[in-house]
Structure 1
Amino acid sequence: MAGRFLGLFRVFRGKKKKSPEAAPPQQRENLEQFQPPEDDAALDRTQEKKPARGRFRKTLKTFWKFPCIRRRKTGSAAAEGPAEPGSGLTELQAEPDVSPDLPERSENSDTSVTETRTKILLTSMTEDVDITNAKTRDTQGIANTDTMPSPTLSQELIFDYFKDPCVPSQQQVPAKVKNIHQRLMSQVTVDVWLKNDILRLAEEHPADLVLTLLRCAPACDRAAAMMWRTIGSSSPTVEKVLPTLLCVMENWPLHSMCTSDGDNEEVFALAATLGLWVILQVPECQEAINLYSPRLFVALLFHLVITTQQIPSVEVATFWRACWQAHHLHCKPNRFAVQAIKALLCRLQWDHVVLAMERKRDWDMLLRADTQHVAVGLLARVLCHVLDPFCSRIAFRLLQPQSREEPCWDLPSLAFLVEVLGGLDLSECGDSVLEMMSRYLRSECRERRRLALRGLVVLTKDPSMARRMYPLSQSLLELLGDADGEVVSMSLRVFTNVLQHKDILVSSTTAPKLAEALLLLFDHDSSYVRLLSILLFDKIMNFLVDEGEKPMKKILCQSLLPLFLHCHEDNQRVANASRETLLGVAEFLKKRNLKKLLKKEQLSKFAECLLAEDSSSAAEHLRRALPYLQSPQEPLREAAVRFMGMAGRYLKGQPVELHVLTQALEAMSEDDSPSSTNLEIQEIFGQRCAELRSSAGFTEPRSQEEYQETVKRAPGLNVTGAPGTPDAGHSCACCKLP
């Protein structure tokens, strides 16, 4: 058997010579008789060939156990078969130089894994021969072994067997990836050589490997999962493949990129998410995952939003059905996205964030379209409390221009951004944030307007950002008339924050418009809005430039009565703010008597003094007091009734007296539970109206035209419309102050 085997290698042994052992017995005896003494040395050399020949067979046996040689010999069928337990893999694993952690290679290096294996084999053969020859010298006494014809393999022949390199050229990478995937279909584990092949391909050709694997196994079968886990076992390799995976994930629902073999078949973004999920199960990937964690979080959050807000297409639904059936996942892709986000946070060792969200049931809110943006904000708030740098990096990702235009994505991303604004360096991203907030401030969506205003409230705390708010003043003024109380209150907070910076002045054109809008908010249903509007009204007077004082006087005169009445509010904060603001208005208008009464807290005399100083405006003051009769606060209604009773006395002889008193009676009669003061004033007004009707000189105007003619003859009061109509106006003496 050994002779037939060695006969295959005549090219290495030269011409075969007969040995004495091969001769017949008789001839052997004759040869022994005629053997000259000099042939003893030759005989010793012949005997020495036996161990050398055994060493050669042993080395050749090891050589044939290389996977590449077996593949060459047995073809593709053998290559796809499972690795035998008795193969040479165990022996090769014992080699000290064979390790996945090979030295760093240059890009232009032509050395392949095959050449490395061959060099190891040649070194082993040389060392084996030297060691054996040394033992032979010790036992047989042969001093010179250089003349022995020991069998050797030429290096050129060995490289011929490894001519197809393990890491192929760029065009062969997709085919190699498919081949590895096909081989792993019938294997239970990844052997050391395949592991090295996968890692080498992933490091040198990450895009080709990722795209090819996503195309040949989009649902991530068992073989593909083995390859993803192999990649995940090396953090440097994961770092190389993550950019391509993220590029696929960020293009929903399909991503198209051409590989080196010219294949540009589209791949599913969910397939990349599934591959990432498998990698996240491997602990060794943590370092690379941490490096790309902000971008990974944003990509997974985008998948969660898009799969919740939109109904998946038939193509995506069919693909995902194959995925969840193969891996026993949830049938809804948005639940898998939540699972992937949890896996990412746990791999980053942020389990406390996952638990905090579970305690508040915020994960369930993320799965509902109507509450998703709220849950995203809550998630950002939890992250921001413990992971502020991480949130800042996410915010910078969200501020970058997005290639995708998904209308359902901007609301959750805006909610996250608003929650983390407080931890951002506005010197770097302030302009981008302000541009985004101003864009959503004009949105028709109420939630987007709310979030934009919340962002502006945070931005205006920074002096440098507050100075840039002037272009938004008109939009903010319009929002003060919004029906949503939360929108109004946040708009007031933006203005308040801006005016807190002392170096910022209110322009002469903006101040009157803002003050007029605030005056209407004094009677808002929300006590918080009333408080903010009154406090802001007070601030405006302190920040006015000289040119803006004159237009403000008319508005300040109109504010005297509302501020006086709000001093009687049940809400003590509003009452105190009204008193302080009223004092500021009196000082601004240089009304010393009013100022003195306010300082002494003699509010009962304030109304009398106000009417006495400007009796011609009594009708206008009375008309302004009418809406307060409908106030839900009894102290406010009572104060309005008492003031109307005082104002009625100053109406005597005025052409509009009967008309105003009639309006007052109608308003007071609508009170379901009138106070004694109310009933008393009604009786007084009723008697006065009867007197006026019976008087020949004063009759109630029967039409708007007759009312206008009556008003023109009235001194000190210029009314352009009947009281209570939209065209009503006035011109009182306090507005004509120098």
Structure 2
Amino acid sequence: MVCKFIKSIREKETSVTGTGVIPYSEVFKHEASAALLDLLVEQGVSSPEQVPAMVRYIHRWLMANEPAEHRLDNTLLELTEAQPADVVMTLLRVAPSCDRAAATMWMTIMSSPRTAELAQLLLLDVLGNWPEHSMRTSDGDNTDVFALAATVVMWKILQMPCVPHVLILFFPRLFAYLLFQVYFSTLDTPEEVNTFWKGCQEEHGLATNPSRFAVRTLKALLCLLQCEHVVMAMERKCGWDTLLCADTHHYAMGLLAREMRRASLHLCKSILCCLLEMLSKEMPYWDFPALAFLVEVLECLDLSECSDSIMDVVTRHLKSERREMRRLALRVLLLLRDDPSMAERMWSLNKSLVVLLRDSDNDVVRMTIVLLSYFFLDKDAPIPSPIALQLAEALLPLFDHDDSQVQLLSMFVFRTLMSFVIEKEPLKTQVCQSLLPLFFHCHDENQHVAEASWETLLCAVQFLKRRDLENLVKKEKLWKFAECLLAEDRSRAADHLSLALPYLENPQESLRDAAVRFMEIAGRSMRGQHKELQLMCKALEQLTEDISPAVSNLALQTLYALRSLETSRYSVFRRLQDQLRRAWKTRPRLSSLGRLRFWSSARADLGGSACWGHLS
């Protein structure tokens, strides 16, 4: 008899066409049919494949028998306890808009300690998969279930007179998934979801869109946790409206995080763990708002339990193509810099941070150099040469950065590199290239930058073991320093010139002035180098109309002097003198005192200037 009963249900299901609604025949209205289903379940479900059919039957029976809406409660609980996935997924499929009968069934399931937790976990899985969740039930049905259908269920449950305790137990995940759904429904709502939502609006008389409905459910959840002040604070600051715009969603996430932080640090930590779990799934669109929430709560929490997860997330997002993601990842690192447990992991990020020093975004560069300077502040261990070399190459352009803080910190890190690098030889090229930029910034209008440049320049010449240049820097004879730098090796004069030319266009008058004076010294040392003299003259011509009269006049005088040098005869004696000077610089190492005296005498006879190369 029972087998024939189940068979009749299946036959009615398979005969349905069109909308899939089966007319409520006498079999659904008869008390005997409910008794037969009770009997069948009491005897044990012989096959899980029967469970979805039984769930569908219970729903139809309740729709046909409204006065006896709790008649099959025990049967439903038995089925849910035995096959929770089959019951939850079938109910979401048979009544996605959560009609009266479905709402009764959900309340029965969620009100029982036997089934509430099992059902809630399954609903969370559906909530966390926008726009649809797929799970095959025992009867082979793998029809997708809308995540929004689970949100409707949660909204109905939150309206119950006595809300199940399980919602409080799973609050952090439910909170995170609702935020997730708000964002994605704001960003993009597929046509099939819109069609489904129209049915929900008709069923419940709702006059709102999916994203606003998710926010409405989120508010109800916060009120359940007695966080009404969070809801009101967000309302006053227009936070909910900001949350509903994809372009401003991350700002609202930060605001919500700050309000939640004031409400309960315990809840914030639980939410943070859920967000980290979601971030580990690499959902590219959700990462940004989730990180925005994470940043606001990090500094108030003990992160010992989730430090590895945080570092994994940050490491991945430092390489993000989105500028905002890189900024947020750096903010996280800046907040974690005082945590001793993070020190070793953060130091391992040095390669990624060096790359960010070349970033086109000033905020990214600023935060990166602040972070690196913090790493080096208490650095007393040797720095591997490959890291030092890469870092030095990235630091040099920052000496000319338009942010004085970046300039100061880049010079600080550069000094630290020179002090603690393991092998000094590979770094000498970068240190040599730093001399001229540092010389110019010794004339910087910002006194702090000027002092830092002088200090770094002194460290650089000490690193290169140039006693002659060191003495000139110590005595602050910077123009004599420039003369010696240019005169010591005419073959590198062109390199110095290429480094100096951009300073002619610097916004600071003092640096333009220093660059013009440097051109005059460079012109004297490049006598006879027609190409370089022409380059300097062309650059100075543009500066004769400088906004500063002092710079303009100086450029005109220097231009006249350089043109005089260009047209003057390059004497045979001068050429011989330059050739001997270069020979002296490239001489083989001689140990004989007599040979040394010969070279010294030759040098004196030729009347070499005070800027000749020195004997090391």
Distance, in Å, in 1 between the alignment partners of 2:105 and 2:308 is 45
Q: What SS class does the counterpart of residue 655 from structure 1 fall into?
A: coil
- Which letter does structure 2 place at the counterpart of 1:540? L
Per the alignment, residue 346 of structure 1 pairs with 223
Query: Is residue 2:595 matched to residue 1:692?
Result: no
1:386-425 matches, within 5 Å, as 386-400=263-277, 406-422=283-299
- Judge which range, 183-192 or 234-243, deviates more: 183-192
CA contact (8 A) 1:492 1:532 kept: yes
Is 2:219 aligned against 1:219? no
CA contact (8 A) 1:461 1:498 kept: no
Tell me if 1:557 matches 2:429.
Answer: no
Q: Which has the larger radius of gyration?
A: 1
How far apart are residue 636 of structure 1 and its match? 2.5
Structure 2 counterpart SS, 1:522: helix
Return the offset for 1:688.
2.8
Cα deviation, residue 692, structure 1? 3.0
For 1:271 and 1:578, how far apart are their aligned partners in 2?
A: 64
Q: Is contact 1:384–1:391 with CA below 8 Å preserved after alignment?
A: yes
Q: Does residue 544 in structure 1 map to residue 421 in structure 2?
A: yes
Match of 2:201 in 1: 324
Instruction: Look up the match of 1:607.
Output: 479
2:592 maps to: none
Query: CA separation in 1, counterparts of 2:426 and 2:136?
Result: 68
Distance in structure 1 (CA, Å) of the matches to 2:409 and 2:582? 38
Q: Report what 1:626 is aligned to.
A: 501
SS in 2 for 1:509: helix
Partner of 1:92: none
Matches of 2:326 and 2:549, distance apart in 1: 47
CA deviation string 1:405-431 (max 9, x = no partner): 754333333444444444566554444
Which of 678-687 and 161-170 deviates more? 161-170
The one-letter amino acid paired with 1:640 is A
1:96 equivalent in structure 2: none
Question: Does 2:579 align with 1:715?
Answer: no
Once the two structures are superposed, residues 383-419 of structure 1 have per-residue CA deviations (whole angstroms, 9 ceiling, x without a partner) of: 3454433333333334447897754333333444444
Query: Is 2:545 aligned against 1:678?
Result: no
Alignment of 1:298-377 (within 5 A): 298-312=176-190, 314-377=191-254
> Which residue does the alignment assign to 1:616?
488
- Following the alignment from structure 1 to structure 2, what is the Cα–Cα distance between the partners of residues 636 and 501? 33
Deviation, structure 1 residue 635: 2.6
Distance 1:319-1:697 versus aligned 2 partners, 3 A rule: same
CA contact (8 A) 2:41 2:78 kept: no
Report the 3-state secondary structure (helix = DSSP H, G, I; strand = E; otherwise coil) of the residue aligned with 1:251: coil
Tell me how far 1:274 sits from its aligned partner. Answer: 0.7
Pair 1:231–1:645, CA change in 2 (3 A): same
Given that 2:124 and 2:174 are in contact with CA atoms closer than 8 Å, whether structure 1 keeps it comes out as yes
CA distance in 2, matches of 1:428, 1:346: 29
Structure 1 gaps of 5+ residues are 1-73, 81-113, 115-159, 700-709, 719-732
SS in 2 for 1:284: coil
Superposed counterparts of 1:132-151, under 5 Å: none
Give the count of matched residue pairs: 557
Cα shift at 1:182: 4.1
Would the alpha carbon gap of residues 527 and 716 (structure 1) be closer, same or farther in structure 2, given more than 3 Å must change?
farther
1:200 offset after TM fit, Å? 6.8
Query: CA offset at residue 434 of structure 1?
Result: 3.2
Structure 2 matches for 1:218-297, cutoff 5 A?
218-229=96-107, 231=109, 238-259=116-137, 265-282=143-160, 284-285=162-163, 287-297=165-175
Cα distance change of structure 1 residues 436 and 544 upon mapping to structure 2, 3 Å threshold: same
Question: Equivalent residue for 1:638?
Answer: 513
CA contact (8 A) 1:289 1:348 kept: no
Provide the secondary structure at the position in 1 that maps to 2:285: coil
**Deviation at residue 291 of structure 1 after TM alignment:** 1.5
Q: Spell out the pairing of 1:721-736 with structure 2 (5 A cutoff).
A: none
Q: In 2, Cα distance between the equivalents of 1:283 and 1:685?
A: 89
The residue type equivalent to 2:516 in the other structure is: V
SS in structure 1 of the partner of residue 163 of structure 2: helix
Q: Given the superposition, is the C-alpha separation of residues 536 and 255 from structure 1 closer, same or farther in structure 2, using an over 3 Å criterion?
A: same
Alpha carbons of 1:196 and 1:459: their partners in 2 closer, same or farther (altered >3 Å)?
A: same
Kindly state the Cα deviation for residue 292 of structure 1 after the two structures are TM-superposed.
0.8
- Is the partner of 1:164 in helix, strand or coil? helix
Q: 2:429, 2:515 → 1: CA distance?
A: 22
Cross-structure match for 1:442: 319
User: Which of 536, 546, 549 is the equivalent residue of 1:664?
Assistant: 536
Aligned to 1:493: 370
Give the structure-1-normalised TM-score.
0.64
Q: CA deviation at 1:714?
A: 7.6
- Distance verdict in 2 for CA 1:378–1:189, change over 3 Å: farther
How many Å separate the matches in 1 of 2:135 and 2:449? 63
How far apart, CA to CA, are the structure 2 residues paired with 1:181 and 1:714? 102
Task: Give 1:633 shift.
Answer: 1.8
SS in 1 for 2:504: helix
SS in 1 for 2:582: coil
CA distance in 1, matches of 2:333, 2:280: 25
TM-aligned CA deviation for residue 529 of structure 1? 3.0
Alignment correspondent of 2:589: none
Structure 2 length normalisation: TM-score?
Answer: 0.75
What secondary structure is seen at the aligned counterpart in 1 of 2:507? coil
Change (3 A) 1:215 1:676: closer
When residues 687 and 181 of structure 1 are mapped into structure 2, their CA distance, relative to the original with a 3 A threshold, is: closer
Distance, in Å, in 1 between the alignment partners of 2:471 and 2:164 is: 72
Q: Distance in 2 between matches of 1:168 and 1:438?
A: 56
Say which of 394, 402, 414 aligns to 1:525. Answer: 402
In 1, Cα distance between the equivalents of 2:141 and 2:547? Answer: 85
Aligned to 1:476: 353
Q: How big is the shift at 1:630?
A: 0.8
AA in 2 matched with 1:715: R
Aligned to 2:599: none
Q: Is the 8 A contact 2:62 2:68 kept in 1?
A: yes
- Give percent identity, aligned residues only: 46
| Alpha-carbon displacement from aligned partner over 1:4-45 (angstroms, at most 9, x marks no partner) | xxxxxxxxxxxxxxxxxxxxxxxxxxxxxxxxxxxxxxxxxx
Structure 1 distance, partners of 2:401, 2:515, is 17
Root-mean-square deviation over aligned CA pairs? 4.4
- Cα distance in 1 for partners of 2:229, 2:527 equals 75
Deviation at 1:234, TM superposition (A): 5.9
Offset of 1:333 from its aligned partner?
1.6
> Does the CA-based 8 Å contact 2:527-2:566 persist in structure 1?
no
TM-superposition CA deviations, 1:709-730 (whole Å, max 9, x none): x998983899xxxxxxxxxxxx
Q: Contact 1:392 / 1:423 at 8 angstroms: preserved in 2?
A: no
Cα gap change, 1:735 to 1:533, in 2 (>3 Å)? farther
Counterpart-to-counterpart distance in 2, 1:249 and 1:283: 23
1:498 touches 1:504 (CA, 8 Å); kept in 2? no
- Could you give the per-residue CA deviations for residues 234-277 of structure 1, whole angstroms, max 9, x where no partner exists? 67754342112112223343334455666554432211111011
1:371-393 CA-partner distances (Å, limit 9, x unpaired): 33444344334434544333333
Matches of 1:737 and 1:410 in 2, distance apart?
A: 61
The structure-2 alpha-carbon separation of the partners of 1:361 and 1:161, relative to structure 1 and needing over 3 Å to count, comes to closer
Matched ranges for 1:48-197 at <5 A: 77=29, 79=31, 164=39, 169-170=44-45, 177-178=55-56, 181-182=59-60, 184-185=62-63
2: distance between equivalents of 1:257 and 1:244? 10
- Deviation string 1:156-208 (CA, Å, 9 cap, x unpaired) is xxxx9998388674467656655554455467777776667766766666444
